[in-house]
Chain A
Amino acid sequence: MSKRTRTRAAGAVLLGAGLVLGATGAKAQGTLVVGMTAGDLPIVTGNPDQGFEGYRFVGYSLYDTLILWDLSQGQTAAELRPGLATEWAADPKDPKRWIFKLRPGVKFHDGCPFTADDVVWNMNRSTNDKAPEFDPNQFAQARAYLTNFASAEKIDDLTVAITTKTVDSLFQFNMSYVMMISQCRAREVRYNWVDYAARPSGTGPYRFDRATAHQRMELLPNKEYWDTRRIPKQDRLVLVPMPEASTRTAALLSGQVNWIEAPSPDAVARLKSSGMTVVTNAYPHNWTYQLNFAKGPFTDKRVRQAANHALNRADMKEMLNGLMLEGFATATPSTPYYGKPRIYGYDPAKAKALLKAAGCVPCKVTFAISTSGSGQMQPLPMNELVKSNLEEVGFQVTLKTMDWNALLDITRAGVEKFPEISGINVSRSGQDPFNALVRHVWSAAAAPKGANWGHYSNPEMDGLIAAAMAEFDPAKRLVLLTKIHELMSEEAALIFVAHDLNPRAMSPKVKGFVQAQSWFQDLTPVTVAP
C-alpha cells in the first residue's frame, strides 16, 4: 500500500467514523426519522402533493390553515378546531359570506406578521390567474377544496370575509385544507416558486432546514410557534420517502429510521418480535369500489346488493392479520352520522338469488385497480380475494391492473370516458361529511367536475344534500347527513369492503405519540430517547 493510498484509507475511516458518530449524536438529541410511503418528497410551496401523507408530514408541519384538526386524542374521530382563525361563522344575513376572525400575534418563520392581507393574498394565489402571486401548481393542488370559493375580502387586519358561490354549510371543512404561506418570502424571491421551495416560510410548528431532492427533508422546531403547547419536543424531524413496504420495514429494523408508515401486515409480527411498537387506530378511510351508474350491470340495484352480500370480509380481515375494520357502510361506526345503515352481511345464497333476479348470470364486470398507492392498503391480494368471492356467486370479474397515477386519471376523468369499466377501486378519505358522503353521490359532483366517478344520480339524494348544505344548525345538519349515509347503504351506492386501521411502527425509543382518528397526526409531542 503506497503512502498516498494509506492516507486516503485513513481519511475514509475517519470520515466513516465521523458519520457514524454524527448519526449517533443526532439520534441522541432526539431526531425523529420517518419512513414515509410517498414516492418522493412532498412539495413545500403550500398545499403539498403525495396525497394526505404530504399534508400529514409536510403541510401541517410547515404551515397552518385557518381551521385546524384537533389531533390531541385518539378516542373519537378528530374534529375541527381554531387554527389561524380563532372563530368563524357564516353571516346570518348572507349565508354565502363567511367571516373569519384571525389570531393576533402570529408570525411567519421569516418574522413577518400574519394578517388578513395574507389570507386574501393566499386565496388569490390559488384561484386568481390574473394576480402576480398566482401559482398554477397550487391552483391544481387546492382546487378540489376551493370549487365553491368565490372571493376573499379584508375587513380589517384581523378579519376576513370569504364568499362562496352557493350556500354551503360544509365550506368550513374545505378551509381546513388550504395552507397559508408567507407573502414576504414569496415577494423576496419574486414569485419564483423554485427559489421559494428552497426557503419556504409558514406559521407552522416546524420550520424548514434543508432537503436533498428525492431523498430526505429536515425540519426544525419553530420555538416561536403561537400554540406553545405544540412546540415540537424533538430536536429535528427528518422525512424520508420509502414507497416500498419491505424497504420501510428493513429500514426500521436496521435503525435507519425510527418511525415507518404502513408496514405490511405480514411484517407486523417480525417488527413486534424485534421490540418495535406497532400502533393502529380507526380513521375515516374507505376501501371500496365506486360503481358505474351509467352503463352495465351495476345500474341495477340488485346487482350492487349482490356484490355487497358476496364479500367475505372476515376472510379479508384475517388475510390482513386483523389490520382492517370490516366495511359495511360508507363511514366507520364511530362517525357521528353513521345512523342505522342497512348491513350487507356475507350471504352467498342471497347474492346468487339477487343476481338471478336481476338476470345477470354470469354477471361480467371489470374493475380498474392499482398495484399500490396512498391508502390502497394491499391492493393486489385484496382485489384477488374480492374477485374470488364475487365469482363464487356468479360474477365474472376482470381486474384491469394499472399504475396508481393511471387509475387516478381514470378516476378524475369519470365514467363517460371509460364506460367499459364497471367500478374503480380507489381508497377515499372521509374526514368530513362532504368528502365522506356528498362527493360520491351528488349529481352536481359528477366527474370530471367532482368525485362522483360513476355519475350516481338520485333526486332524493340530491334533495337531502341540498338541505344539508343549506342547514347551519349542526344538530339538524347531523340528522340530514345521517339520512344521506343511510340512503347510500340502502342504495348500495358503493361496494363496501374495508376501513384501514392506519398501522405505523416505531422504535421503542419513540415516546409520546397519540394516534388520532384522522389521516393527519400531530408529531409535536413525540420525543426520541437516546
Chain B
Amino acid sequence: MSQTVVFPGSAVSPHEDQAAPETRIRSYWQSVGYRLRHDKATVFFGTMVLLIVLSAVLAPWLAPFDPYKESIIGRLKPMGWRGHLLGTDELGRDMLSRLLYGGRVSLLMGIVPVIFATCAGGALGVIAGFMGGKVNTGIMRTMDVFYAFPSVLLAVAISGAMGGGMSNGMLALTLVFIPPMCRVAETATTQVRALDFIEAARATGAGTMTIVRHHVLGNVLGPVFIYASSLVSVSILLASGLSFLGLGVRPPTADWGLMLSTLRQSIYVVPVVCALPGVAIFITSICFNLVSDGLRQAMDVRM
C-alpha cells in the first residue's frame, strides 16, 4: 500500500497527473478523511455513534432520576408517567436514566474487549505472519482450535466457567475475539512479507523490528482497524447476550442486556417500555456496523 495516492475523484489520470502539476496529491489518511466526509450515510451514523457515546459519558448529568432508586408503587408505568419520559421498569426505576447508564456498560463491554483483542490478536498475527514456518503453524493452529467454536458458545462457556461479572465478561469476549483478529493480522502480514520493498529493506540492512515497525505495521493496521471496528457491534451484542443469560454484569447494574432479560416477564403490561433496551442495543450495534462499513470503504484504496 503506497503512502500517497491520487484522489480517485480527480478527473485526471496518473499520466495527466504528471503532466499537470497543479493536481492535488493527498496522503492516504487525507484521502480516507476526504472519502469519509463525503459519505453522508457514514457521517450520519458516525454522528449517532458520537451522540450515543456522549450520552453514556454524560449520563450522570443527563439522567433525570437516580437509576437505582426504585418505587414499587410506580413500577411498570408507561412513557411520560410523572416525568418519567420513557416510563419505569419492574422495580419502578426510571427507564431513561437506566438506559443512559446502561449505555456506559454496553459501550465499555463493546469497546474494551475489542481493544485488548486487537492488541493481543494483532501482535500474535503479525508474529505468525512475519516469522512464518513453525512459529506460524504453532500460533495459527492454536487459534484454529478456538476458532472452531461459535463465538456465542465460546463466550458463554468461558463466562460460565469463570463466573459472572463485568470483568469476567470482558475477559471472555477478549478471548473470543483474539483468534479472528489474529487471523486477519496474519493474512495481511503474510501478504506484505512477500513484497519487494520488504526485501529491499532487508537488503539495506534493516533489522527485523525496524521492518515490522516501519513497513509491516503500517500496512497491516488498516485491515486490522477496519475489522476491529466491525467487532464493536458484535461485542455489544454478545455482552448483552451474556447479561441476558445472567453471565454478564451483576444486578442491579443498569445494563441493556440485563434490563431486557428482567423486563421480558412484564411484556404484557408495558410492551413498548419493555422493548426499549432491545431498541437501544439494535440502534447502537447497527450504527457501529454502518460506521465500520463506511470506514472500510474509505480505507480501501482499490475502490
Give the residue of B73, B91, B163 whose beta carbon is less than 8 angstroms from that of A381: B91
* B70 cross-chain contacts in A, Cβ below 8 A: 384-385, 388
Residue of B nearest to A246 (CB): B264
Measured CA separation A114–B71 after assembly (Å): 59
Residues of A within 8 A of B247 (CB): 403
Cβ-defined contact, A381 with B76, below 8 A: no
Number of interface residues of B (CB under 8 A): 26
Q: Is B122 at the interface (CB under 8 A from chain A)?
A: no
- For the complex, is A245 an interface residue (Cβ under 8 Å from B)? yes
Query: Once the chains bind, are B250 and A266 in contact (CB under 8 Å)?
Result: no
Asked whether, in the complex, the Cβ of A380 is within 8 Å of the Cβ of B268, the reply is no
Q: Does A264 lie within 8 Å of B265, measured CB to CB? A: yes
Please report the number of residue pairs spanning A and B whose Cβ atoms sit closer than 8 angstroms. 77
A396 at the interface (CB under 8 A from B): no
Which residues of A are found within 8 Å of B68, using beta-carbon distances? 388
A-contact 0/1 string along B226-268, CB 8 Å cutoff: 0000000000000000000111001110000010011011111
- When A266-B268, A319-B90, A388-B70 are in contact, do A380 and B261 touch as well, CB less than 8 Å? yes
Query: A318-B72, A401-B246, A402-B246 known; A384 and B267 CB under 8 Å?
Result: no
User: Given A319-B72, A381-B91, A400-B163, are A246 and B252 neighbors across the interface (CB < 8 Å)?
Assistant: no
Q: Are A269 and B269 interface neighbours, CB within 8 A?
A: yes
Let me know if A267 and B160 touch, CB within 8 A.
Answer: no
Chain A residue contacts of B246, Cβ below 8 A: 370-372, 380, 401-403
Closest A residue to B262 by beta carbon equals: A380
A270 to B76, CA, bound (A): 14
Task: Name the interface residues of B244-302: CB closer than 8 Å to any CB of A.
Answer: 245-247, 250-252, 258, 261-262, 264-269
Residues in A268-311 with C-beta less than 8 Å from chain B: 269-270
Do A384 and B250 touch (CB < 8 A)?
A: no
Main secondary structure on B side of the interface with A: loop
**In this assembly, does A378 line the interface, its C-beta being within 8 Å of a C-beta of chain B?**
yes
State whether B160 touches A406 (Cβ < 8 A): yes
Question: Counting CB contacts under 8 A, is A398 at the interface?
Answer: yes
Q: Mark B206-239, 1 if CB is under 8 A from A, else 0.
A: 0000000000000000000000000000000000
Question: How many Å lie between the Cα of A400 and that of B250 in the bound state?
Answer: 7
Contacts of A246 in B (CB 8 A): 264-265, 267
Whole-angstrom distance between the Cβ of A105 and the nearest chain B Cβ? 49
Which of under 10, 10 to 19, 20 to 34, or 35 or more describes the interface residues of A? Answer: 20 to 34
B67 within 8 A of A: no
Q: Is A387 an interface residue, CB under 8 A from the partner?
A: yes
**Known contacts A319-B72, A384-B91, A406-B160: A398-B266 contact under CB 8 Å:** no
Residues facing B in A400-431 (CB within 8 A) are 400-403, 406
With contact pairs A381-B90, A384-B91 given, residues A266 and B251 touching in the complex (Cβ less than 8 Å): no
Contact partners of B76 in chain A: CB under 8 A: 266
A398 to B72 CA separation, bound complex (whole angstroms): 21
Does A249 reach chain B (CB closer than 8 Å)?
yes
User: In the complex, what distance in Å separates the CA atom of A406 from the CA atom of B246?
Assistant: 12
List the A side residues contacting B245 at CB < 8 Å: 371, 403
Residue A399 lies at the interface, judged by CB distance under 8 Å to chain B: yes
Q: Are A401 and B250 interface neighbours, CB within 8 A?
A: yes
Q: How far is the CB of B69 from chain A (nearest CB, A)?
A: 9
Asked if B264 and A398 make an inter-chain contact with CB atoms under 8 angstroms apart, the answer reads no
CB distance from B182 to the nearest CB of A (A): 30
* A315 within 8 A of partner (CB): yes
- Residues from chain A with Cβ under 8 Å of B258 in the complex: 380
A172: chain B residues within 8 A (beta carbon): none
Q: Let me know if B164 and A319 touch, CB within 8 A.
A: no
Instruction: Provide the bound-state CA to CA distance between A246 and B72, in Å.
Output: 22
Determine whether the beta carbon of B269 is less than 8 Å from that of A266.
yes
* Interface residue A383 (Cβ < 8 Å from any Cβ of B): yes
* Bound CA span A354–B251, Å: 27
* A96, B267: Cα distance in complex, Å: 55
Residues of A within 8 A of B (CB): 245-246, 249, 264-267, 269-270, 315, 318-319, 370-372, 378, 380-381, 383-385, 387-388, 398-403, 406
What 9 A-B pairs come out closest when comparing CB atoms?
Answer: A371-B246, A270-B268, A264-B265, A266-B266, A384-B252, A315-B72, A267-B268, A266-B269, A401-B164
Given contacts A371-B245, A385-B72, 4 further A-B contacts (CB under 8 A): A266-B76, A266-B265, A318-B73, A380-B251
**Residues of B bordering A, CB below 8 Å:** 68, 70, 72-73, 75-76, 90-91, 160, 163-164, 245-247, 250-252, 258, 261-262, 264-269
Pairs across A and B, CB under 8 Å, 14 listed = A245-B265, A246-B265, A269-B268, A318-B72, A318-B73, A319-B75, A371-B245, A380-B246, A380-B258, A380-B262, A385-B70, A398-B250, A401-B251, A403-B160
